Structure 1
Amino acid sequence: MSTLHVLSHSPFGDDRLRSCLRLLGSQDGLLLTGDAVYALQPGTAPFTALSERAPTLYVLAEDAQARALTIPGHARAIDYPAFVELSLHYDKVNSWL
């Protein structure tokens, strides 16, 4: 069963990203929204963790753009309609509140 994990909190404030990465299955995806896109800052521990774990990574493009962050090549930029499509593609959605 595949799960889309949705993170919206900064990876520098708590351990949600680290906990999520431990639970990711081979068919799961990870969507960064809101302040979670700060994990895309090169040279940081969250960026390294995402690069090493290599999940199917999606980034809400609007949130990355609002924070002047570049979306790396191993991530797919999406918009809100694509977010809806993703939620239908996966068996379930888990928001890390």
Structure 2
Amino acid sequence: MATLHVLSHSPFSDSRLGSCLRLLGPGDGLLLSGDAVYALQPGSLTRQALDLMPDSIALHALAEDLQARALTGLPARLNAVDYPAFVELCCHYDKVNSWL
């Protein structure tokens, strides 16, 4: 069963991102929102970990949060989504796991 994992907390404040990355399987997706988009900062260890994810795992981020934090140099594989597309993603996957 494919799962969409949703992270919203800064990857620099706790270990949720690392825990999530260990559980991702083929066909899963990862959606970064809120301060979790800071994981995409070029040159950071979190960005390196995201760059090493297999291509079979989709990487998404809320476009509004990327813009609010003025992040640049984003990975080519990143799918920036708006809120309606976020809802569509939730319907696309068998399960949604929000890392609260």
- The match for 2:61 is 59
Query: Distance between the aligned counterparts of 1:96 and 1:43, measured in 2?
Result: 24
Query: Distance between the aligned counterparts of 2:77 and 2:51, measured in 1?
Result: 8
Residues 18-97 of structure 1 mapped to structure 2, 5 A cutoff: 18-54=18-54, 55-70=57-72, 71-97=74-100
Please report how far the alpha carbon of residue 72 of structure 1 lies from its aligned counterpart in structure 2 after TM superposition. 2.1
Task: Report the TM-score, using the length of structure 1 for normalisation.
Answer: 0.97
Runs of 5+ unmatched residues, structure 2 = none
Task: Report the TM-score, using the length of structure 2 for normalisation.
Answer: 0.94
Deviates more, 1:31-40 or 1:62-71: 62-71
Runs of 5+ unmatched residues, structure 1 = none
Please report how far the alpha carbon of residue 53 of structure 1 lies from its aligned counterpart in structure 2 after TM superposition. 1.4
Please tell me the root mean square deviation across aligned C-alpha atoms, in Å. Answer: 0.8
Aligned residue type for 1:44: S
Query: Distance between the aligned counterparts of 2:63 and 2:15, measured in 1?
Result: 23
Which secondary structure state, in structure 2, belongs to the residue aligned with residue 53 of structure 1? coil
User: Would you say how many aligned residue pairs link Structure 1 and Structure 2?
Assistant: 97
Structure 1 residue ranges (4+ consecutive) displaced by more than 2 angstroms after TM superposition? none
Please report how far the alpha carbon of residue 74 of structure 1 lies from its aligned counterpart in structure 2 after TM superposition. 1.6
